[in-house]
Each structure stands twice: as C-alpha cells, then as structure tokens.
C-alpha cells in the first residue's frame, strides 16, 4: 500500500475546548468532562476531526489550569482519569481524535517537584527549577535581574526559607522548569509517554519557545522608564538550546507515534525563526501558532491595549504566511480565536445586530479558504461576541486583566496623588481585547445561563443568549 501524500493532520479541523466553560453536567457551575462527552455528537456533526482540550490536569487555578500540580491526574473539578478514558473512547468511536495541552515551561508551585526543590538547597530537585541569589544595589537586596513577568511585576519570587529567588515568567505560582537539566527533560518525556500510552493523539505545546533561557540571565535593556522591571523576551524566547531540546523531544517521544503537534510561539514574528520549528527536515513540530495576525491590533505596551490596523496590513500578513516556504514543507496553523484572544466577530468584524451574522460568516470563509490545519475555538461556530462594555472590572476573572488593571491604577494613583482615578479608557480597551471574552460559558440554548449549567456559573454568561 502506498503512503498517503499528506499526513492526516494536514486536512484536519481542530476544535479547542476550554473545559471550564464548555458544558457543566453536574450543576456545580464549572464545565466538566461529562459535559464534553454529552456533546460528542454535536462536535462530530460540526465536522470536527480533533478535539483539543485546554488543561484539565490537577491545578490550583492560579492561571486557569496553566499552573499544573500533577501532570498525570485530572482535576476533580473536571472529573477523573476514567472520565477522560470515556471521552477518548467516545471520540475515537466517532472517528475523532483527542489532543492534550502540554504545559511544560513551568509547573504550579504546588507540584511535588517544586515542593521538593523549594525544601532545601541540597534537595536533588533543587536544580529542576531556576534558582538564583539576589543582588545588592546601594545596600538594597533586589531580584537576580530586572526581568518583568508577562503578567507584570518581577519575574522572580523570593523564598525566605532558602534565601534565594526562583524564576517565574508568568505568575509567582508558576515557577519555570530548568530545561538545561537533562533529568527534567526526561521527566517531561515520561509525562508525554503517559498520555500517549493512554491514547492521546497529540499535543498543543504552551509557550514552547520559552523553554531555553540565555546563559547568565542578563539584565534586560531599559525601555520602560515608568518601572524597574523590564520586558526581557529577547533573553528567554527562542533561546540558545530550544531547538536542541525539541529535537530531543521528537527523537524520544514524537517520532515513535502518529501524533499531531502544534507549538505556541509568542513574541516571534521572524519567519525564519518560526520555520526552524516546523520544516520537516528539522524533525521538531508539525506547525506553530504564530502571533503576527494576533498582534496586528495590539499596542507595544500591552496586548490588552489597542492600536489601529488596516485591511491592507491584514492581507499582507495572511499573504506572506500562505506563501512562506510552502514548497519546503512549512505548514500553517490557521486560527483567529483561542482561549487567549478576544472574540473575532467583535475584533475583526462588526458585532452589531445588523452585521454580526454576516461578519461571522465572512470570517469563517476567511479561515477555511486558507491553506493549513484549521483551528476553531468553542463558540466561534456560533459567532459568539465579546461581552458588553457595561460590564465592570469585577467581571474580568483573568489574572492578566486583573494584574494589568492594578498596575495602571497604582501608577495613576501615585502620579495624581489621589485614590479615585479615571480608569474608563482601560476598561474600554479590555472590552475589546481581554482574554476574558473567550472564557465566558458556551451558549447552548435560551434557558437560564444559556444552558451551560443548572447552577451558578463560575463566570457570567454573556447576556445575549436570551
């Protein structure tokens, strides 16, 4: 039998599920695996080939599951490993595949690995994470360098018990793993093998281009004069060993199975940088999520702030990536929504009553006519839009929204010397760009809470389901 001309994943449609917000089967207000199982026929009828689950592992939910405390268990909010097995069986029985979210740049600070690492400088797992002593400047102890966390503030957290700092590129409850330690890499391969043996069909890899940091962890250049901590992505994005480590992942795990793999690669617009992850001869990943389109309307100060864009710019981005190294095997991941992006009909279309349906259909055609593997986010098929500007900051649950709001509020209070400062401009930006818009519960019907739950939803359902 001749080998098929294209791998199966090149013609697949992938549907991303944000489990907390998909369907609640037990009435506790949080979506669960039983709810996903109940909608497998819906997903099959929709034309889904692959279901991608955002993290469902055990987690304290400091960053909605992207802070994992046990890679080999399901968080009780969502169900059990046996529920996952039933979901897999149901998906496979309908001809669909199931991929997991692999979050291995960092863990939760409640993971057993970090608990051991933090316990003593002499613990065998101490160098599973990135620990450094502080530095003294003008008699004051400061973190090891001036790197700013993606979620604001220092990227370092002091541990009083051992007197050192650990690196966390996201929140302090997400300590970065030390990928330079080969034992750590082996442990990650074991995590991947656990899920593959259980039947998982592939992995979406969270911030996979962050796993290698520049030697010496130097201070970042001063570009933001309003604060001490500075953006440092030039020292941890696409680092010196990243391709070595992903090639090893491919050799140790991926090459032995017929899987779909896609890497998330933020802070990278350089096509040659991204090609290195994808070109078949490099034996790394099948495709990556690049961010050039997602950044088209984002201020350089923060992705939560907007900037103007033009249709000409959008067409240029799409045209460039559609043609990029196609003959050499580069493959695109086509997406316009996910759990980290505002709703596309509000962002790139017109979500008014008159134009919402037309805009959503236009964006669907825009997506499906591109060459690449198509990724659809839950609710995108319904044209779900952003929640309204009338919602207050208390409705924004995402740590990125809350932290940035607090930072700007504190800066304005200090600058103006008063407690009550004007914040409506920032709330208007959030109404357009915040990640929270993607995370409102799915709308299934016109019953209370859109049919998402019979209880009180963990996050407010957009009122337009009625």
Known catalytic residues?
206, 264
Stated as kind and residue range, the H or E segment containing 86 is helix 81-93
Q: Would you call 341 exposed, middle or buried from its count of C-beta atoms within 10 A (0-12, 13-18, 19+)?
A: buried
Tokens encoding 365 = 């055609």
Question: By the 8 A CB rule, do 10 and 373 touch?
Answer: yes
Question: By the 8 A CB rule, do 34 and 69 touch?
Answer: no
* Positions of E strands within 241-315: 260-264, 287-289
Find, among 409, 410, 401, the residue nearest to 438 by Cα: 401
Stated as kind and residue range, the H or E segment containing 90 is helix 81-93
- Specify which residues 57 forms β-bridges with: 74
State the Cα–Cα distance between residues 168 and 149, nearest whole angstrom.
Answer: 7
State the Cα–Cα distance between residues 104 and 195, nearest whole angstrom.
Answer: 14
DSSP state of 58: E
Task: Give the angle 427-430-436 at the CA atoms, nearest 5°.
Answer: 130
**Residue 324 CA to chain centroid, in angstroms?**
24
- Strand pairing report for 156-159 and 164-167: antiparallel
Query: If you write DSSP's letter for every residue of 405-447 in order, what string do you get?
Result: HHHHHHHHHHHHTSS----HHHHHHHHHH-GGGGGSPP--SSS
DSSP state of 208: G
3-class DSSP assignment, residue 464 = helix
Query: Position of tokens 């049919």?
Result: 451
């Amino acid at each position: 039998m001749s080998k098929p001309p294209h791998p199966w994943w090149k013609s697949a449609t992938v549907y991303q599920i944000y489990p907390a917000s998909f369907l609640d089967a037990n009435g506790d207000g949080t979506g669960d695996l039983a709810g996903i199982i109940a909608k497998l026929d819906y997903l099959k009828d929709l034309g889904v080939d692959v279901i991608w689950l955002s993290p469902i592992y055990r987690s304290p939910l400091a960053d909605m599951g992207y802070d994992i405390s046990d890679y080999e268990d399901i968080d009780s909010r969502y169900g059990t490993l046996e529920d996952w097995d039933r979901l897999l069986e149901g998906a496979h029985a309908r001809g669909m595949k199931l991929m997991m979210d692999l979050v291995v740049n960092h863990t939760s600070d409640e993971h057993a690995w970090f608990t051991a690492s933090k316990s003593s400088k002499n613990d065998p797992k101490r160098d599973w994470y990135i620990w450094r002593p502080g530095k003294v400047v003008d008699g004051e102890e400061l973190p090891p360098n001036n790197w700013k966390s993606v979620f604001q503030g220092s990227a370092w957290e002091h541990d009083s018990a051992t007197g050192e700092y650990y690196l966390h590129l996201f929140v302090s409850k997400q300590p970065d793993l030390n990928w330079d330690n080969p034992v750590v890499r082996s442990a990650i391969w074991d995590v991947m093998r656990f899920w593959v043996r259980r039947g998982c069909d592939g992995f979406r890899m969270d911030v996979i281009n962050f796993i290698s940091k520049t030697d010496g962890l130097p201070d970042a250049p001063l570009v933001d004069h309003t604060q001490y901590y500075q953006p440092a992505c030039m020292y941890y994005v696409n680092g010196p060993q990243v391709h070595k480590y992903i090639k090893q992942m491919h050799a140790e795990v991926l090459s032995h199975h017929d899987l779909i793999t896609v890497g998330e690669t933020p802070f990278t617009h350089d096509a040659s940088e991204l090609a290195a992850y994808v070109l078949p001869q490099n034996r790394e990943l099948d495709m990556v999520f690049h961010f050039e389109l997602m950044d088209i309307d984002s201020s350089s100060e923060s992705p939560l702030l907007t900037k103007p864009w033009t249709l000409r710019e959008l067409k240029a981005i799409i045209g460039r990536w559609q043609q990029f190294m196609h003959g050499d095997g580069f493959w695109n991941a086509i997406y316009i929504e996910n759990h980290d992006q505002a709703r596309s009909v509000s962002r790139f279309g017109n979500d008014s009553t008159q134009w919402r349906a037309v805009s959503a259909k236009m964006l669907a055609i825009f997506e499906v006519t591109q060459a690449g593997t198509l990724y659809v986010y839950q609710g995108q098929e319904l044209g779900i839009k952003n929640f309204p500007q009338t919602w207050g900051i208390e409705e924004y649950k995402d740590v990125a929204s809350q932290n940035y709001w607090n930072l700007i509020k504190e800066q304005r209070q200090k600058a103006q010397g008063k407690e009550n400062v004007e914040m409506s401009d920032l709330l208007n930006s959030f109404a357009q760009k915040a990640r929270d818009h993607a995370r409102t519960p799915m709308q299934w019907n016109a019953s209370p809470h859109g049919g998402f739950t019979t209880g009180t939803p963990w996050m407010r359902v957009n009122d337009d389901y009625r």
